[in-house]
Amino acid sequence: MTTTIETIRRQVSDLHQELVRYGLVVWTAGNVSARVPGEDLLVIKPSGVSYEQLSPENMILCDLDGNVVEGDYSPSSDTAAHAYVYRHLPEVGGVVHTHSTYACAWAARGEAVPCVLTAMADEFGAEIPVGPFALIGDDSIGRGIVDTLSGHRSPAVLMRSHGVFTIGKDAKAAVKAAVMCEDVARTVHISRQLGEPLPIAQADIDSLNHRYRTVYGQRPAAQ
């Protein structure tokens, strides 16, 4: 149990550096969390600590109501939203939040990113939807994420006038979705400058998404 939590602390700390590497965050904005498998616990970034100072030791262990179980700092101010997602979506093992630039530009307009690239069909299987406007401080952000992503293929939601939340089977998958979300938000934005992107037929989106989820990548035996 202690070993598991130590491993997750290291994973969550390391994954925060991926947000920096891919240019998804500025200052102390953004956060990654992971569920502790089999426990009603999560590990998340401390609030207001710079990315250079993040380490496995200063990650915060919380229960799924967002209360601190172990940690010297206050947890991220988005902890309640992450905790809400873990309470309501048991298959989710990781949650990421960013204010990445292009995705936020879509969120500021309250506009979903249309599924007009094969890479989007692969990773998101649909448009990247917009969730409701919600203020920090209660369950409304978490509820908006869960309500928007339940029954949706996309692992990413653009919370209106705010930013990106992504979910995944683990924290790495949620980070990947955040990286891909910003990438396609940028490309589709650029495409829009000179015209209307061409739609991809729903049957083709379905086929691409199915192939990506079931065939793409290394088979387990080859890993």
Interface ranges with Zn ion (CB under 5 A):
163
What does the angle CA 26 – CA 31 – CA 35 come to, to the nearest 5 degrees?
165
| Cβ–Cβ < 8 Å for 161, 136 | no
Q: 112-125 burial by CB neighbour count: b if 16+ within 10 A, else e?
A: bbbbbbeebbbbbb
- Say which DSSP state 5 is in: H
We find the least distance from the C-beta atom of residue 26 to Zn ion, in angstroms, to be 12
Among the listed residues 174, 164, 179, the one whose alpha carbon sits nearest the alpha carbon of residue 22: 179
Give whichever of 97 and 176 is closer to Zn ion, judged by the CB atom: 97
| Cβ–Cβ < 8 Å for 182, 102 | yes
Active-site annotation holder among 63, 122, 139, 147 = 122
| Cβ–Cβ < 8 Å for 82, 160 | no
| Cβ–Cβ < 8 Å for 130, 107 | yes
**51 is annotated as an active-site residue:** no
We find the least distance from the C-beta atom of residue 146 to Zn ion, in angstroms, to be 17
> CB nearest Zn ion: which residue?
163
We find the least distance from the C-beta atom of residue 125 to Zn ion, in angstroms, to be 25
Give whichever of 155 and 163 is closer to Zn ion, judged by the CB atom: 163
Give whichever of 11 and 98 is closer to Zn ion, judged by the CB atom: 98
Active-site annotation holder among 82, 84, 97, 102 = 97
Among the listed residues 90, 93, 85, the one whose alpha carbon sits nearest the alpha carbon of residue 146: 85
Active-site annotation holder among 40, 63, 88, 99 = 99
Give whichever of 142 and 163 is closer to Zn ion, judged by the CB atom: 163
**216 is annotated as an active-site residue:** yes
Dmax (CA) of the chain: 55
Give whichever of 78 and 183 is closer to Zn ion, judged by the CB atom: 78
Active-site annotation holder among 78, 82, 102, 162 = 162
We find the least distance from the C-beta atom of residue 110 to Zn ion, in angstroms, to be 16
We find the least distance from the C-beta atom of residue 108 to Zn ion, in angstroms, to be 13
Q: What is the CA radius of gyration of the chain?
A: 17
**88 is annotated as an active-site residue:** no
Residues labelled catalytic: 97, 99, 122, 162, 216
